Amino acid sequence: MDVSKTKSSFYRRLYVAYLIDSGLASNIPALTEATGMPRRTAQDTVAALADLDIICEFEQEKGARNHAGQYRIRDWGAIDRGWIEQNLEPIKTVLGYP
C-alpha cells in the first residue's frame, strides 16, 4: 500500500498521542519499544504534537534526575480521540506497527 508522507506523519502523531494518553507508552523509551521507531523519531514526534494543537507536557518525577518522568496529554485540540480508538488497526497498518 502506497501511503503519502503527510498521511503517515499525521497518523504517527495521532498514534503517539494515543499511546501517551492511554498510559501504554508515556515516555520516550516506552514509545520506542511500543512502535519500534528510533529514539530521535519518537522525540521529534512528541515535539510535533503541538503542530496539531495537541498539548503534551512532560512531568518530571519528584526527586528524579536525568529527565525521569512521563508525558501527559492535557488537551486534544480539534482531534477526536474516539476516532483514533475506532481506527486504531487501520492506523497501525498504515504505519506498519504490530
- Domain ranges across the chain: 5-95
Closest by CA to 13, choosing from 66, 70, 78, 63, is 78
pLDDT in tens, 10-57: 999 999 999 999 999 999 999 999 999 999 999 999 999 999 999 999
DSSP code of 63? T
Helix axes 88-95, 5-22, angle to 10 degrees: 130
Question: What is the percent of the chain with per-residue pLDDT over 90, rounded to a whole number?
Answer: 83
Question: What is the percent of the chain with per-residue pLDDT over 70, rounded to a whole number?
Answer: 94
Domain 5-95 indexed as CATH 2.30.30.830? no
Regarding pTM above 0.85, the answer is yes
Helices (H), the chain: 5-22, 28-35, 39-48, 81-86, 88-95
- Per-residue pLDDT at 1 exceeds 70: no
pLDDT score recorded for residue 78: 95
